[in-house]
Structure 1
Amino acid sequence: MNATIANDLFRQSIRDYHRTDNVDTPIDNLYPADAIESLLYQKNWIDTVQWHLEDIIRSPTIRPDELVGVKRRIDQSNQDRTDMVEQIDGWFFDQFRTISPKSGARLNSETPAWLLDRMSILQLKLYHFREQTERPDAPDEHRLKAQFKLNVLLEQEQDLAQCFDELMGDIRNGDRYMKVYRQMKMYNDPTLNPVLYGQPAQRQP
């Protein structure tokens, strides 16, 4: 796995989503379920759907009942995103299990999957800023500003790709090592969120 393969998978997922551009479109992941390609495709699909849910929830005409429903979908999507990152890190941990870190090897603060998370979101930014540079209904000033930001994002794409490939190489060589941390999110857990565990029992009809 390298940055080029990962970014290609992210771009494929984004293109596939925009064939319908609908947050209710079911994912069509053709990769084997246990393959890293499948995990990365699914990860970006979650990110892409959430990106558009975040657009929808900011509509000035959204009804209150719709807003609540979309907010709950975003909450669930955040949990799914975190779960996928942990699953991807688990895959990498298994790949590197037989590698013995060298004496003095450094622990990297960011795991491979959380770096891939940033790369996935960045591909979404690139896609949508590129759209803004090509908008026929937008004034030239808008397109120029979008192009400036797109250029910065393209530089960041190269930097993150380099960082990912260097991290992979360092772990393989034993110069750095990784740990898998669980995120310990609280807001979706009815035993940890005080608003949820503090609710009175529902009356039975």
Structure 2
Amino acid sequence: MISAIANPIFQRAIQDYHVYDQIDHPIQNPYDKQSLEHLLYLKCWIDTVQWHMEDVVRDPAIDPKEGLHWKRRIDESNQYRTDTVEYIDSYFLQKFQEIQARPSATINTESPAWAIDRLSILALKIYHMEQETLRTDASEAHINTCQEKLNVLLEQRKDLSQSIDELMDAISSGDKYMKVYKQMKMYNDPSLNPVLYSSGK
């Protein structure tokens, strides 16, 4: 089951990041570079770093120039995140390349890797919501509200994990097939973003 592999790796990546809790602390991916585990750890590390960038840029007192700096870093991170998701899908495409889809096979609304992307983000939500329940400087009402939200997030992870596993089983059996569309993001491409190609940058 892919969720049984992914969820612990996501938890490890998040915990590893928070040992130092520094956006620019170098990643120390413990998995073999050729493995799916390596890609999953990298994916969640990117998400974790970007989560904290988003926190910084939302500071209402941030200097506009610094805010622009972080906005551009977030854009760059988003591209890196998208590229990594597509690497994960490439792994699955290769894994399932010999599977003959049944005539009745259908396509899913999203690829396996984009579903796993949601699972990685969910792991971050769970981690940070749990941290809110552990605060000693917050009101009881705040703690209770966050605990209720955490319970929902945990249920969501269980449901999403099951759905991803079922999708992978369906692809393995030929009942579903993979069809991956590259994201083709335009805002970072000098040939596609009008602001960039009009300015000659």
TM-score tier by shorter-chain length is over 0.9
Aligned residue in 2 for 1:191 = 191
Aligned residue in 2 for 1:55 = 55
Q: Quote how far apart the aligned CAs of 1:31 are.
A: 1.0
Q: Quote how far apart the aligned CAs of 1:160 are.
A: 0.4
Aligned: 1:105 with 2:140: no
Aligned: 1:69 with 2:69: yes
What is the alpha-carbon distance in structure 2 between the residues aligned to residue 138 and residue 127 of structure 1?
17
For 2:47, give the aligned amino acid.
D
Aligned: 1:121 with 2:121: yes
Aligned residue in 1 for 2:81 = 81
**Secondary structure of 2:145 counterpart:** helix
What is the alpha-carbon distance in structure 2 between the residues aligned to residue 44 and residue 8 of structure 1?
11
Aligned residue in 2 for 1:2 = 2
Q: Quote how far apart the aligned CAs of 1:200 are.
A: 4.9
**Secondary structure of 1:18 counterpart:** helix
What is the alpha-carbon distance in structure 1 between the residues aligned to residue 89 and residue 48 of structure 2?
20
| Structure 2 gap segments, 5+ residues each | none
What is the alpha-carbon distance in structure 1 between the residues aligned to residue 23 and residue 50 of structure 2?
8
The CA RMSD measured in Å over matched residues stands at 1.0
What is the alpha-carbon distance in structure 2 between the residues aligned to residue 19 and residue 106 of structure 1?
44
What is the alpha-carbon distance in structure 1 between the residues aligned to residue 49 and residue 77 of structure 2?
8
User: When the two structures are superposed, what TM-score results if normalisation uses the length of structure 2?
Assistant: 0.98
What is the alpha-carbon distance in structure 1 between the residues aligned to residue 86 and residue 179 of structure 2?
11
What is the alpha-carbon distance in structure 1 between the residues aligned to residue 40 and residue 200 of structure 2?
41
**Secondary structure of 1:190 counterpart:** coil
**Secondary structure of 1:10 counterpart:** helix
Following TM superposition, the consecutive aligned residue runs of length 4 or more in structure 1 with deviations greater than 3 angstroms are none
Q: Quote how far apart the aligned CAs of 1:30 are.
A: 1.9
Structure in which a larger fraction of residues adopt helix: 2
For 1:107, give the aligned amino acid.
I
Q: Quote how far apart the aligned CAs of 1:60 are.
A: 2.2
